[in-house]
Chains A and B, each alone.
Chain A
């Protein structure tokens, strides 16, 4: 028995020895300790962000109720960083220099650790100018200035805001890009692609499921399935615009709820040459606008300018300018605009005449939509309904004015625009004479 106990003790001692050695198996997985690896990661990321000129575009989100913001961020290996942005909270375009670093936290963290007027405006708890005092929470926009580095490739990195948890993407830019020019390109893209005058856009999946998109101009878009209840089914999602496309803060999961064929979560869209957006996640889903003829008749006032008129439109405009002072003493011509009245179903040509061209007059056309991009105007002058008093006076007494009305009703007009999402300007070209062109703007 004594020998047995002795043998068992010896075997247990051997096992204890192996047990004590067990931790070395962990060391085999990583060559170095976690602390050493973290330190090396810090050194690596300090070099990574400042590498190749250190210029990046950051797609920044501070909360879910306001748009994302594009910032041009230029990291220098001397520890300074320049952040440039263009939005109302920083007074338009602004650029500021501060400090940055990679610090050890729960892994490597990119921190902007001294105040930068562009970035920290969105972390500052101070007053937000466009909220009422009673709504001030002392928390500001709630944005991050410390970001966990989640993943990197040579030219792109994924950050995660430490407080918000939002995924923030940074893409490397060519070091020769001018910050202000880039931000101007962002602003131009927003203005040229989205307008509050355009009532609705549409998100269409590859399988043809359609959603109405509202408030695109605010970049906090609302979506609901086409033809269904907007009140109960609306989903809101904010996005950030860059010259190349838009990215939503979160994937548009609701799309998959309504389209079972949609297997890929959609979040990123690229601008197409005509201004529409193609989803880069599935290559199928698009964000598009109404046909031009629909936009033309959505109630927006379309202005014309003499210098953008072509063919007979320009000729007649010049004749009207000369004839009106002759017919109506001390009067001058101030141009015309077109507005579709949804209630009456008439297209109104509103013109300015009289002393200093301050008196308005109206001619009312019937509008026939020929196809998605073509319309035809007509007028019935057999009764007095074709215009208001001033309109009729000009139609009957100013010959060149009558000819302008006749020109508008003489042929079908084709609508075209470089950017169909926000067709401003839009051209109306006579099918009878391609030289007869009106450039319409809102």
Chain B
């Protein structure tokens, strides 16, 4: 019994001690300073990259809450690809162009930074090389992931002296990827989803001919790969393509295209929109020719200075458009849907945005833009 009492007392002490110890162990949950201090949050004025880091912080992080990553960490990329970082100097150029041609353009068209602060990506990552897909012979130029991150590839190959290449590989890519961000936030109109249904080719788009896809109502071969890319390509090309380039594409879209290749699926098959008959004799069958070989005289077209056995000039004919699609009408319809979507869903005038971007594209002074960074003390 005595033993029992002692045991009870001991048990009581144990109960109190146990509760006390348990409570004490829980007291460790008090929040203290973070154990993950961010050493990047403080910019070192003595660092080699201070000017660019400071400019990015001031112009992207502070304004748009956007982390502009040009110092590449491979964990931020698809490790299945071999990729390299962007160079410092190219990163600087792309950074100022990103702001001028993309962020400032949207700011101008919407009247404030709020639009991109709300809907813009949270991360932009620059990657020096393309991501190659050797089996398909394609390369990735940009990625938009989860509505928050845009990756721009091929930065090291950007040639600031070559507008056409800049437009194709950089400016268009920026707007293309942002279009993805936008449609990842608000759905692509159903009407658009149905227009080119049945004409997409996700596995062989890279082998398709530009004339053929234009005639089918696509703005690029990549746009013919799938509906979402079609949507992003329509917007990006409409915004960035010069009027001259746009008109040229629409001209291609208005034509019929044919090839004399026996195997249309073979590599490097050429398609033509003109043909003639040797010696002007239809029994010889059509011989296809390129625009550069055709002489236009009024409404007539001739094959260079060639003549038939009777001394008559060789007449050139347009290839008949047999794909059953009015390419120009489809392209215009797609632009109109995008125009309406921008206006109704985002309150943005797509044509005004195009006008602003086109002006900026053709009138930027890279040296002056660079000074925003290099003048930082």
**Contacts A39-B37, A114-B87, A124-B129; A101 near B71 (Cβ below 8 A):** yes
Contact B88 A13 (CB under 8 A): no
B contact residues around A36 at 8 Å (CB): 35
Cβ of B41 < 8 Å from any Cβ of A? no
- Mark B residues whose CB is within 8 Å of A: 4, 7-8, 11-12, 14-15, 17-22, 24-26, 35-37, 39, 44, 46-49, 70-75, 79, 81-88, 90-91, 128-134, 139, 156
A contact residues around B88 at 8 Å (CB): 98-99, 114-115
Report the 3 A-B pairs with minimum CB-CB distance, sorted nearest first. Answer: A138-B132, A17-B21, A13-B18
Contact B82 A139 (CB under 8 A): yes
B contact residues around A24 at 8 Å (CB): 25
Contact B19 A138 (CB under 8 A): no
Contact of A10 among B11, B22, B36 (CB under 8 A): B11
Contact B134 A138 (CB under 8 A): yes
Query: How far in angstroms is the closest Cβ of chain A from B363?
Result: 29
Contact of A13 among B14, B46, B131 (CB under 8 A): B14
A contact residues around B14 at 8 Å (CB): 10-11, 13-14
Contact B35 A78 (CB under 8 A): no
Contact A126 B129 (CB under 8 A): yes
A contact residues around B8 at 8 Å (CB): 3, 6-7
Cβ of A80 < 8 Å from any Cβ of B? yes
Query: How far in angstroms is the closest Cβ of chain A from B128?
Result: 5
Cβ of A18 < 8 Å from any Cβ of B? yes
Contact of B19 among A13, A35, A136 (CB under 8 A): A13
Cβ of A327 < 8 Å from any Cβ of B? no
- In Å, the complex CA distance between A99 and B86 comes to 11
Nearest CB in chain A to that of B70: its residue? A114
**Contacts A7-B11, A105-B75; A114 near B85 (Cβ below 8 A):** yes
Chain A stretch 149-174: residues in CB contact (< 8 A) with chain B: 162-163
Query: How far in angstroms is the closest Cβ of chain A from B107?
Result: 28
Nearest CB in chain A to that of B131: its residue? A125
B contact residues around A17 at 8 Å (CB): 17-22, 25
B contact residues around A162 at 8 Å (CB): 74
B contact residues around A33 at 8 Å (CB): 35
Contact B18 A98 (CB under 8 A): no
Contact B25 A10 (CB under 8 A): no
Query: How far in angstroms is the closest Cβ of chain A from B106?
Result: 28
**A-B residue pair count with CB separations less than 8 angstroms:** 138
Interface residues on A, range: 35 or more
- In Å, the complex CA distance between A23 and B25 comes to 9
Chain A stretch 1-42: residues in CB contact (< 8 A) with chain B: 3, 6-7, 9-18, 20-21, 23-24, 33, 35-36, 39, 42
Nearest CB in chain A to that of B15: its residue? A10
- In Å, the complex CA distance between A349 and B48 comes to 63
- In Å, the complex CA distance between A14 and B11 comes to 9
B contact residues around A112 at 8 Å (CB): 85
B contact residues around A101 at 8 Å (CB): 71
A contact residues around B21 at 8 Å (CB): 14, 17-18, 20-21
- In Å, the complex CA distance between A161 and B354 comes to 46
Contact A145 B85 (CB under 8 A): yes
Cβ of A113 < 8 Å from any Cβ of B? yes
Contact B73 A146 (CB under 8 A): yes
A contact residues around B22 at 8 Å (CB): 13, 16-17, 20
Interface string of A128-142 (1 = CB under 8 A from B): 000000001111101
Contact of B49 among A12, A79, A163 (CB under 8 A): A79
A-B contact pairs, 7 of them (CB 8 A): A10-B14, A43-B39, A80-B48, A124-B128, A138-B133, A140-B82, A142-B82
- In Å, the complex CA distance between A113 and B79 comes to 15
A contact residues around B128 at 8 Å (CB): 115, 120, 124
Main secondary structure of the interface of A (DSSP, over half): mixed
Contact A21 B25 (CB under 8 A): yes
Contact B35 A35 (CB under 8 A): yes
Contact B15 A13 (CB under 8 A): yes
B contact residues around A23 at 8 Å (CB): 25
Nearest CB in chain A to that of B48: its residue? A80
Contact of B72 among A3, A6, A113, A125 (CB under 8 A): A113
Contact B48 A76 (CB under 8 A): yes
- In Å, the complex CA distance between A13 and B139 comes to 63
Contact A78 B46 (CB under 8 A): yes
Query: How far in angstroms is the closest Cβ of chain A from B3?
Result: 12
A contact residues around B75 at 8 Å (CB): 105
B contact residues around A146 at 8 Å (CB): 73-74
B contact residues around A267 at 8 Å (CB): none
- In Å, the complex CA distance between A27 and B43 comes to 33
Contact A11 B132 (CB under 8 A): no
- In Å, the complex CA distance between A78 and B50 comes to 9
Cβ of A123 < 8 Å from any Cβ of B? yes
- In Å, the complex CA distance between A103 and B38 comes to 11
Nearest CB in chain A to that of B26: its residue? A20
Contact of A125 among B15, B20, B73, B130 (CB under 8 A): B130
A contact residues around B133 at 8 Å (CB): 138
Cβ of A111 < 8 Å from any Cβ of B? yes
Nearest CB in chain A to that of B11: its residue? A10
- In Å, the complex CA distance between A111 and B88 comes to 14
Nearest CB in chain A to that of B91: its residue? A114
Contact B132 A139 (CB under 8 A): yes
- In Å, the complex CA distance between A11 and B12 comes to 9
Contact A20 B85 (CB under 8 A): no
A contact residues around B37 at 8 Å (CB): 39
Contact A115 B85 (CB under 8 A): yes
Given contacts A17-B19, A43-B39, A138-B139, 6 further A-B contacts (CB under 8 A): A6-B11, A13-B18, A17-B25, A23-B25, A78-B47, A99-B88
Query: How far in angstroms is the closest Cβ of chain A from B311?
Result: 47
A contact residues around B86 at 8 Å (CB): 114-115
B contact residues around A125 at 8 Å (CB): 81-84, 129-132
B contact residues around A163 at 8 Å (CB): 74, 79, 82
Contact B15 A78 (CB under 8 A): no
Query: How far in angstroms is the closest Cβ of chain A from B229?
Result: 21
Contact B72 A114 (CB under 8 A): yes
- In Å, the complex CA distance between A337 and B74 comes to 57
- In Å, the complex CA distance between A98 and B87 comes to 7
A contact residues around B11 at 8 Å (CB): 6-7, 10-11
Contact A39 B39 (CB under 8 A): yes
B contact residues around A12 at 8 Å (CB): 18
Contact A35 B36 (CB under 8 A): yes
Query: How far in angstroms is the closest Cβ of chain A from B81?
Result: 7
- In Å, the complex CA distance between A23 and B24 comes to 13
Nearest CB in chain B to that of A20: its residue? B25
Q: Which of B18, B37, B39, B88 is most buried by chain A, counting CB atoms within 10 A of its CB? A: B18
B contact residues around A99 at 8 Å (CB): 48-49, 71, 88
- In Å, the complex CA distance between A320 and B74 comes to 69
A contact residues around B87 at 8 Å (CB): 98, 114-115
Contact of B15 among A14, A120, A124, A139 (CB under 8 A): A14
